Each structure stands twice: as C-alpha cells, then as structure tokens.
Amino acid sequence: MTDVAASPLRVVLIGCGRVGMHLIERFSVNGPFRVVAVCDDSCAGDLIAPFGVRSMSLQQIAQSQDIDVLWITSFWGFPWESPLSEVFRGHHLITEAPFTLGNQSAERAFADAAQRGRLLLVHHPRRADPDFRQALAVAHDEKIGAIRAAKFVLWSYGRPPRGATRGIQQPIRDEYAEPGATKVRFVAHALDQLVQLVRSRPIRVAAIVDPGFADLFSGDSLLLRIVFESGCLAEIDIRLDSPTPFQIGWTLTSERGGYANGRRYTLTDDGEVFDSPVTISGQNVEADPIDCLAREIRSGVPNASEKVYACAVVALLEGAQQSLVTRQEVTLDWPSEG
C-alpha cells in the first residue's frame, strides 16, 4: 500500500459531474490515483483549482506524455467508435459502470485496447458490499452445488420532494442524478454481482418497466428475469417510487443449500436444513475496487474474467432494452468466439 500511495497514477477525468468531483476529492488525500486534470468545458475552474486540478483540452491530452490513465466519468461510458476515440486510445482507460455500449461494440473495444497494449477497465464500486461478499462466499462453495435460482430486490423512495427546494438555488445536477439513470445504475451494479455469483453465461432476458414505457431509463421501476446456460433463473427487482423500503439483498438457492440475509443454508443427506452465519476468511475478502484497478494497470496484464463480466452486463442491458420494445423475452446475441 505504501508503494502505491508514494507514486499515484496520474488521472485525467473525461467529464466532471458528481462522480468526477467525488473522485477528485477522494484521490486528493491519498491512494493509488491522483487527478491532475479534467476535460470538461462545463466544469467550473473554481471547483477543481483548490485540489490542484487543471483543465485540459482534447488536443492537450493527445500531446501529453504525463498521463497514466483516462477516467471516463460519463454514465454512458465511452463511445469507442466516436471520431474522438483516436485521442483516447493511446492511454489506459477506466469507465464507470454500467459501461453502456452495445455488446458487439464492447467486444471490439476490449480487443482494440489489447491490440494497442492498453487496458480498458470498468469501475464497479458496489463489489465491496457486505451482502454481496457473503453471498459470493456461499455461491463459490462447491459443497452446495450450482446456483439454481437468484433474486435481488431493492425498493426505496428516490424522487425529489415536491416544493422542498422552492426559492432555494438548485444544486448542480448531472446525468447520474436523474431518476432513470439512478435506476439503471442500480440495476447494472446488481447485474455485475449476479454474473459473478452464477458464473454461467446469461442466454435470455425479459424486462418489465412501469406501464406505458418501453425504455430502460423511463419510469421508476425495472424487473428483469434472466436465464443462464446452467439453467439458473434470476430476478432483479428495482423500484425507486416506493415510500415503503424493502431490500432483501441477494437470495440464492442451490442444489444443496443457499444464502439469504447473511446466513448460509445447508441441506443434509437426511433432508434437514441448517443455517449458520457466513464468515469470510481473510483470503476471500475483496480488496477495495480502486486498489484492484490500480494494481491491474500497474501490472499491464488484463484480467480475462473482468472482460467477461463487463460484456455480460452490457449484453444484459442491451437485451433488456430490446425486450421492452418487443415485449418478449430476448435471446442474447453473443459474438462468436475465436
């Protein structure tokens, strides 16, 4: 940890909304990264100057030799096929979840980065959630068998109060603050966790939003039903208009047991079910996602599993959107291997 903090990787943020300012503040103290510049015409200089951060243009980025990482803070990820892509392709890239590219484009983006000797990484801040870490410890225990069903529910109230800010200057908002983006962001984090829990390729997805809508970013709710090659059936239920909070985290059912609410369930040969608290050993405790990103960049070696997880999330989001339009279950179109 000392070596990482002694020579932080130099970061230029592409976009500087709420997420960008959070990264600037976090990295200003210590850690493996340090934000040195921002590329965002709408970013006020007086907000970033106190942190020693300057503004940079795309032309300056293309000419600079003092950049280790470009961090794409936009909710939409990076348009890899954009004319601006040549400016970015000379650097390692980190993009915020949900990395909303089309699945075919995502595959090409990873392949292009590898060809140029650069890494394309996705930041998943929710991987350190205690419930997920406990569920993962159970799901990867071969004694309980393959996961047959998985469910995640998050109901909360995310609408701004009506009239509460009347006469008061509105805070700076960005795409992450919009209700639809918040909903999809929660879903993307849940999908990232799901594909690690099940460890099988998703093959079909069906999506439902509020009546009258046919877009992922519309309405206050989203229900996904996902089928995996292993036969596992999973459901993700997100609702941001519920005054009654309801959150169960992950519930898993397998051939010989399962997981729910921090407890492991074990089915004995006699047909009895025992439950016990889940304890995570030191070697199974995931490091901070930020530290993981820094170590991967310093090593220069891409993690093949991370590409699989990222492309699976992208494919599921894309398939969910198609399902909303067609009102049918969608078979995911995976690029051919090899």
Q: What percentage of residues in the chain have a pLDDT greater than 70? A: 81
Asked if 44 and 149 sit in the same domain, the reply is: no
Say yes or no: 99 and 193 in one domain: no
Q: Say what the pLDDT of residue 66 is.
A: 87
For residue 336, tell me if it sits in a domain. no
Cα–Cα distance for residue pair 46/53, rounded to 1 Å:
10
Instruction: Give the mean model confidence (pLDDT) for residues 302-327.
Output: 90
Q: For residue 90, give both structure tokens.
A: 């000379």
> Is residue 337 included in any domain, yes or no?
no
Same-domain status, 110 and 216: no
Across the range 27-54, mean pLDDT stands at 87
How far is the C-alpha of 69 from the C-alpha of 105, rounded, in Å?
A: 21
Q: 182 and 287: one domain?
A: yes
The pTM (predicted TM-score) of the whole model is 0.85
Residue 337 has pLDDT above 60, yes or no: no
Taking 90 as the threshold, does the pLDDT of residue 276 lie above it? yes
**Could you say which DSSP state residue 168 is in?**
S
Give the number of domains in the chain: 2
284 lies in some domain: yes
- Residue that terminates a domain, selected from 126, 145, 169: 126
10 shares its domain with 55 = yes
Backbone angles phi, psi at 134, to 5 degrees: -70, -45
Q: Do 116 and 178 share a domain, yes or no?
A: no
Which pLDDT does position 294 carry in this prediction? 92
Q: Given 126, 151, 182, which residue is the final one in a domain?
A: 126
Asked if 200 and 67 sit in the same domain, the reply is no
Note whether 112 and 257 are same-domain residues: no
Token reading at 49: 């100057």
pLDDT score of 164: 44
113 and 150 part of one domain: no
Q: Are residues 184 and 301 in the same domain?
A: yes
Residue with tokens 């109901």: 155
Are residues 294 and 177 part of one domain? yes
Domain that holds residue 95: 2-126
Rounded Cα–Cα distance for residues 23 and 191 (Å) = 23
Rounded to a whole number, what is the distance in angstroms from the first to the last CA of the chain?
38
Backbone angles phi, psi at 221, to 5 degrees: -135, 160
pLDDT, one tens digit per residue, over 181-219 is 788 888 999 999 999 999 999 999 999 998 888 888 888
Check residue 133 and give its pLDDT: 93
Q: Is residue 338 part of a domain?
A: no
Cα 94 to the center of its chain, rounded Å: 12
- CATH code of the domain covering residue 29: 3.40.50.720
| Listed range (158-167, 191-200, 201-210, 261-270) with the worst mean pLDDT | 158-167
Note the pLDDT tens digit of each residue in 97-146.
Answer: 655 556 666 777 788 888 888 898 988 888 889 999 999 999 999 899 99
Confidence at residue 82, expressed as pLDDT on a 0 to 100 scale: 57
Tell me the residue type at 71. W
Highest mean pLDDT among 57-61, 62-66, 291-295 belongs to 291-295
Burial class (CB in 10 A: 0-12, 13-18, 19+), 318: buried
CB atoms within 10 A of CB 334: 15
In a domain, 142, yes or no: yes
* Whether 58 and 185 share a structural domain: no
DSSP structure string for 274-298: EEEE----GGGSPPPHHHHHHHHHH
Q: Which residue has the higher pLDDT, 128 or 285?
A: 128
- The residues pairing with 237 across neighbouring beta strands, listed in sequence order, are 153, 223
Residue 335 has pLDDT above 80, yes or no: no
Domain boundary among 126, 147, 177: 126
Over residues 270-277, mean pLDDT: 92
pLDDT band at 87 (very low <50, low <70, confident <90, very high): low
CATH number at residue 250: 3.30.360.10
Q: What is the mean pLDDT of the chain?
A: 83
Instruction: Report which DSSP code applies to 335.
Output: P
Question: Is there a contact between 152 and 250 (Cβ–Cβ < 8 Å)?
Answer: yes
